[in-house]
Amino acid sequence: MDTVDIREVGPRDGLQAEAPVSVDDRVRLIEALIDAGVHHIEACSFVSPKAVPSMAGAAEVMALVPRSADVRYAALVPNLKGAEMALESQVDELTVTISASETYNQRNVKMSIDESLAQIQKICAAAAQIPVDAIISCAFGSPYEGTIAAEDVAALAGRLLDGGASRITYADTTGMATPPTIAALKAVAGTVDGLHLHDSRGTALVNAYAALEFGVRHFDTSVGGLGGSPFADGAAGNLATEELVYLLDDLGYRSGIALEPLLKASALVGEMLGHPVASRLAAAGPRSGGAG
């Protein structure tokens, strides 16, 4: 069977738009995800707690998470200072964000695209042997500039790789992508290594299905379908991890993640937040005798 790498972003992207959750509860969620077989986790973000209060205590989270050769921890960093703090906390991977939309980039990281490129190049140099995944936000359209040409997105990806990024993940920040737009990007870029899909328009799962057909084997997902950028108008939650795992199981792909304990992790995060999660599978449950 083909193997699909799922990077679970719930503890970071999923929780960043929520009211702050304690460090202990964030670690408890990560432990529940590991129990379900999740082995690639974006655990935290080394950002200013004033800017994103829900991500305060990133170093404390990394000091408490279970360590294993089978589990890779990523941390989002906005600048060189954040990268240095993350490296001190012994993360396995850095993620950086840059937007194909100039307006969104300014709103998200308070820098121009060119300034972000320069900062990312410094982060890549500091990371040395630690991989840096560059996530291109608004890769399929911006709530501010509208459609962004696939050629421009691919060109930005090339500049990031030339600057030292290990991999490119294309993010559908406000859920504008459809299978044809993913196909168009692949045609121009040659390959689409990773996707970070949001479900603002109900297309995240169909986009993932189409992307599998296009050869994509790396996806960012969030337990419960949590998430949504606080800096992008109209952004909704991420593709729910349990919904992608449910689909992958039926299609014969191997993710290493077991559905039933994953649904328990989804229920746990709902309890922590005090409200139902967005995942439709979490609400309906798997079919009787189905995958999992």
pLDDT surpassing 90 at residue 108: no
Bridge partners of 65? none
Is the C-alpha dihedral spanning 188, 79, 166, 126 positive or negative?
A: positive
The total number of structural domains in the chain stands at: 1
The reply to whether 111 falls in a domain is: yes
Q: Across the chain, what does the average pLDDT equal?
A: 94
Q: How far apart are CA 84 and CA 247, in angstroms?
A: 38
CATH number of the domain bearing residue 107: 3.20.20.70
**What share of the chain in percent tops pLDDT 70?**
95
By the 8 A CB rule, do 142 and 107 touch?
no
The reply to whether 292 falls in a domain is: no
Number of helices followed by number of strands (H, E) in the chain:
12, 8
The reply to whether 290 falls in a domain is: no
Q: Give the domain extent around 97.
A: 5-284
The reply to whether 291 falls in a domain is: no
Q: Give residue 234's pLDDT band: very low, low, confident or very high (50, 70, 90).
A: low
